[in-house]
Amino acid sequence: MSKQNTLTDHDAIKKWADNYDATPSVVQTDDGQSGILRFDMGGDNDDLEKVTWEHFFDLFEENKLALITADDSNFNKFVSR
């Protein structure tokens, strides 16, 4: 099993995303509000809306999240700090 990492540093998260061509995104709610944070990994997913890094990290901090990743994998999961 790959080693898991818990990331909260914005630069470390951007570096991980760059390594996997992951774009900061959100799942839109029915009322058009920004919902759950996700990364668009280049798949065909109409539910995701790409957002700026600034907006992404505003939501990340407001919700006190951390990003779990695994070495040598595009696995990622947002969790509460």
pLDDT-derived band at 2 (thresholds 50, 70, 90) equals: confident
Per domain, the residue ranges of the chain are 4-80
pTM: 0.87
pLDDT of amino acid 52: 96
pLDDT-derived band at 47 (thresholds 50, 70, 90) equals: confident
Q: Are 27 and 78 in contact (CB under 8 A)?
A: no
* Residue whose token pair is 């080693």: 3
Please state, in angstroms and rounded to a whole number, the distance separating the CA atoms of residues 74 and 70: 7
- Closest to 40 in 3D by CA, of 20, 54, 62, 68: 20
pLDDT single digits (tens) 48-80: 889 999 999 999 999 999 999 998 899 999 999
Indicate if the pLDDT at residue 30 is higher than 80. Answer: no
